[in-house]
Amino acid sequence: MSDHAKFQRMLEILLMLDCKFGRSIDEISRRYNISQRTVYRYFDTFSKAGFVINNNKGYYNINHKNSLVDNISHLLHFSEEESLILSKAIHSIEDDIELRTKLIHKLCSLYDFDRVIHAILRKEDTPKIYNLLQAIKHQKQVILKDYKSGHGGTIKDRLVEPLDFTNNYNAVWCFDTEDKKNKIFKSSRIKEVIIKEENWCFVKSHKVGKTDIFRIHDYTSFPVKIKLSLMAFNLLIEGFPLAEPFIKKENDNEYILETEVCNYLGVGRFVLGLPKEVEVLGDNKFKNYLKNQL
């Protein structure tokens, strides 16, 4: 490996250590495919350069208060003004959700999520998402305070084991310890996230579902095939940008969408809203669903 590549890797590891809860030696070793001995050697280099590395029960991070390299450490952070500008820039991307998601993922891979979270999330959601991320990282149970259920119309606390986020952190997959089921919980419906001391207890039951191009979540999927007019094609791309890779152009006014959906709810709403602009192809299951809806 060249000296440039080694320096880049060391800088990336230094960025990883600039977080609140720290990183384990094993995590760093697996992420960069290096030995744990090499990780400790990098730590020794950081210490000689003036960084103080905390060790909190096997989780390492930078001690900014005692480190000598205060000016350099500032380069690892977004200032309040930078965060505001970055947040406005990302959230101004209304039409291209895929692009917005890619930007978020790239920021999270370059910078630790603990520090970039304020720049990519809306202010009111930041503490909730942050606590959920930490609970996932450390495999802790959480309480979703005053969760507003869209189905039952109830508002109550939920004791869950958070597993993973959907696109843009709009929702989180969790195992509900009361119902003993894996579910989706909307971030906007959570008042507060409280991290418990208890570790995950139902790991064998954990299961993360899928998200289709119409932003519908489930564990199963069904094939759909639809012929679109130019108008329907434009509306689909504008409303659901992730559909574009699954569309083939037949001619200037005919396009074919062929994909899989978690259920017919999302695609059904789209088709029923444009009755003269779409034609359902394929098997009769989706056609029968539309007839029942009508």
Give the bridge partners for 73, in sequence order: none
Residues 108, 62: one domain? no
How far apart are alpha carbons 110 and 38 in whole angstroms?
21
Find out whether 235 and 278 touch, Cβ atoms under 8 Å.
no
Question: How much is the pTM?
Answer: 0.55
118-125: long-range contacts, CB 8 A cutoff, minimum separation 24:
118/78, 118/83, 118/87, 119/78, 119/82, 119/83, 119/86, 119/87, 119/90, 120/86, 120/87, 120/90, 121/87, 121/169, 122/87, 122/91, 125/169, 125/187, 125/188
How far apart are alpha carbons 144 and 2 in whole angstroms?
48
For residue 78, give the 3-state DSSP assignment: coil
pLDDT < 70: residue spans in the chain: 1-4, 20, 66-98, 100-125, 152, 167-168
How far apart are alpha carbons 276 and 272 in whole angstroms?
9
Tell which of 208, 227, 256 closes a domain. 208
How far apart are alpha carbons 20 and 112 in whole angstroms?
10
**In Å, what is the CA distance from 183 to each residue of 77, 84, 164, 171?**
35, 33, 11, 10
Residues 64, 109: one domain? no
Residues 283, 203: one domain? no
Find out whether 195 and 131 touch, Cβ atoms under 8 Å.
yes
> How many separate domains does the chain show?
3
Q: How far apart are the first and last CA of the chain?
A: 64
How far apart are alpha carbons 143 and 147 in whole angstroms?
9
Residues 104, 194: one domain? yes
Q: Please report the pLDDT score of residue 27 as a whole number.
A: 86
Q: Find the DSSP H helices in the chain.
A: 3-17, 25-32, 36-48, 70-74, 80-91, 97-110, 113-120, 126-138, 230-239, 264-272, 285-293
Q: Please report the pLDDT score of residue 119 as a whole number.
A: 47
The CATH number covering residue 253 comes to 3.30.70
Residues 146, 254: one domain? no
Tell which of 47, 74, 101 closes a domain. 74
How far apart are alpha carbons 55 and 51 in whole angstroms?
13
Among 62, 81, 49, smallest CA distance to 21 is for 62
- Angle between helix 97-110 and helix 80-91 axes, rounded to 10 deg: 150
For residue 122, give the 3-state DSSP assignment: coil
* Mean pLDDT for the chain overall: 82
Domain extent, residue 44, equals 3-74
The CATH number covering residue 15 comes to 1.10.10.10
Query: For residue 216, what is the DSSP state?
Result: -
For residue 18, count other CB atoms closer than 10 A to its CB.
19
